[in-house]
Chain A
Amino acid sequence: MSKVAVDIPPKGGFSFDLCRRNEMLTKKGAQSPSFLKTGTTIVGLIFQDGVILGADTRATEGPIVADKNCEKIHYMAPNIYCCGAGTAADTEAVTDMVSSQLQLHRYHTGRESRVVTALTMLKSHLFNYQGHVQAALVLGGVDVTGPHLHTVSYLLTDISCSVFSQKVLTVVVKWISQIYPHGSTDTLPFATMGSGSLAAMAIFESKYHEGLSRDEGIKLVAEAICSGIFNDLGSGSNVDICVITKGHKDYLRNHMLPNPRTYVSSQGYTFPKKTEVLLTKITPLREMVEVTEGGDAMEE
Chain B
Amino acid sequence: MTKQQANWSPYDNNGGTCVAIAGADYCVIAADTRMSTGYSILTRDYSKISELADKSLMASSGFQADVRALQKLLSARHSSGSGGGFCWRLMVANMRLKILMMMYGLWTVFNLFTLPDNGCALVSRPRNNICSFHPRSFDSCHSQIYQHQHNKQMSCPAMAQLLSNTLYYKRFFPYYAFNVLGGLDNEGKGCVFTYDAVGSYERVGYSAQGSGATLITPFLDNQLKSPSPLLLPAKDAVTPLSESEAIDLVKTCFVSATERDIYTGDKLEIAILNADGIRREYMELRKD
Chain A residues engaging chain B, CB cutoff 8 angstroms: 39, 58, 60, 63-65, 68, 195, 229-237, 258-259, 261-267, 269, 271-272, 275-276, 278
User: Using Cβ atoms and an 8 Å threshold, which residues of chain A touch B287?
Assistant: 230, 259
Asked if B288 and A272 make an inter-chain contact with CB atoms under 8 angstroms apart, the answer reads: no
Asked if B251 and A232 make an inter-chain contact with CB atoms under 8 angstroms apart, the answer reads: no
B252 adjacent to chain A (CB < 8 Å): yes
Asked if A231 and B262 make an inter-chain contact with CB atoms under 8 angstroms apart, the answer reads: no
Taking CB as reference atom, which chain B residue is nearest A258? B288
Taking CB as reference atom, which chain B residue is nearest A275? B227
Rank and list the top 4 A-B pairs by shortest CB-CB distance, nearest first. A276-B227, A236-B288, A233-B262, A263-B255
B41 adjacent to chain A (CB < 8 Å): yes
Asked if A262 and B284 make an inter-chain contact with CB atoms under 8 angstroms apart, the answer reads: yes
User: Using Cβ atoms and an 8 Å threshold, which residues of chain B touch A64?
Assistant: 260-262
Asked if B288 and A235 make an inter-chain contact with CB atoms under 8 angstroms apart, the answer reads: yes
Name 13 A/B residue pairs within 8 A (Cβ), A-sorted.
A39-B39, A63-B261, A195-B39, A230-B287, A231-B40, A232-B40, A236-B288, A262-B286, A263-B251, A263-B252, A269-B223, A276-B227, A278-B228
User: Using Cβ atoms and an 8 Å threshold, which residues of chain A touch B248?
Assistant: 265-267
Those of B247-288 within 8 Å (CB) of chain A: 248, 251-252, 255, 258-263, 283-288
| Distance, CA A206 to CA B258, complexed state (A) | 31
Task: Report A4 CB to chain B, min CB distance, Å.
Answer: 42
B151 adjacent to chain A (CB < 8 Å): no
Given contacts A63-B211, A237-B288, A278-B227, contact A68 B40 (CB under 8 A): no
User: Using Cβ atoms and an 8 Å threshold, which residues of chain A touch B121?
Assistant: none
| Distance, CA A39 to CA B262, complexed state (A) | 11
Task: Report A67 CB to chain B, min CB distance, Å.
Answer: 10
B120 adjacent to chain A (CB < 8 Å): no
Asked if B251 and A265 make an inter-chain contact with CB atoms under 8 angstroms apart, the answer reads: yes
| Distance, CA A266 to CA B230, complexed state (A) | 34
B222 adjacent to chain A (CB < 8 Å): yes
User: Using Cβ atoms and an 8 Å threshold, which residues of chain B touch A259?
Assistant: 286-288
| Distance, CA A261 to CA B265, complexed state (A) | 11
| Distance, CA A155 to CA B261, complexed state (A) | 30
Chain B residues engaging chain A, CB cutoff 8 angstroms: 36, 39-41, 211, 222-223, 227-228, 230-231, 245, 248, 251-252, 255, 258-263, 283-288
If A232-B39, A259-B288, A267-B248 are given as contacts, then 8 extra A-B residue pairs at C-beta distance below 8 Å, sorted by A number, are A60-B262, A233-B262, A262-B286, A263-B255, A265-B251, A266-B248, A278-B227, A278-B230
Asked if B222 and A262 make an inter-chain contact with CB atoms under 8 angstroms apart, the answer reads: no
Asked if B230 and A233 make an inter-chain contact with CB atoms under 8 angstroms apart, the answer reads: no
User: Using Cβ atoms and an 8 Å threshold, which residues of chain B touch A276?
Assistant: 227-228
| Distance, CA A109 to CA B284, complexed state (A) | 56
| Distance, CA A94 to CA B261, complexed state (A) | 28
Task: Report B245 CB to chain A, min CB distance, Å.
Answer: 8
Asked if A262 and B283 make an inter-chain contact with CB atoms under 8 angstroms apart, the answer reads: yes
| Distance, CA A264 to CA B41, complexed state (A) | 26
Task: Report B172 CB to chain A, min CB distance, Å.
Answer: 22
User: Using Cβ atoms and an 8 Å threshold, which residues of chain A touch B258?
Assistant: 262
| Distance, CA A272 to CA B286, complexed state (A) | 29
| Distance, CA A264 to CA B248, complexed state (A) | 9
Asked if B227 and A234 make an inter-chain contact with CB atoms under 8 angstroms apart, the answer reads: no
User: Using Cβ atoms and an 8 Å threshold, which residues of chain B touch A232?
Assistant: 39-40
Asked if B231 and A278 make an inter-chain contact with CB atoms under 8 angstroms apart, the answer reads: yes
User: Using Cβ atoms and an 8 Å threshold, which residues of chain B touch A235?
Assistant: 288
| Distance, CA A234 to CA B288, complexed state (A) | 9
Asked if A229 and B228 make an inter-chain contact with CB atoms under 8 angstroms apart, the answer reads: no
| Distance, CA A230 to CA B251, complexed state (A) | 21
Task: Report A195 CB to chain B, min CB distance, Å.
Answer: 5
Asked if A265 and B252 make an inter-chain contact with CB atoms under 8 angstroms apart, the answer reads: yes
Task: Report B117 CB to chain A, min CB distance, Å.
Answer: 40
Given contacts A263-B251, A278-B227, contact A233 B263 (CB under 8 A): yes
Task: Report A222 CB to chain B, min CB distance, Å.
Answer: 14
Asked if A271 and B222 make an inter-chain contact with CB atoms under 8 angstroms apart, the answer reads: yes
Task: Report B284 CB to chain A, min CB distance, Å.
Answer: 5
| Distance, CA A267 to CA B228, complexed state (A) | 26
User: Using Cβ atoms and an 8 Å threshold, which residues of chain B touch A263?
Assistant: 251-252, 255, 283
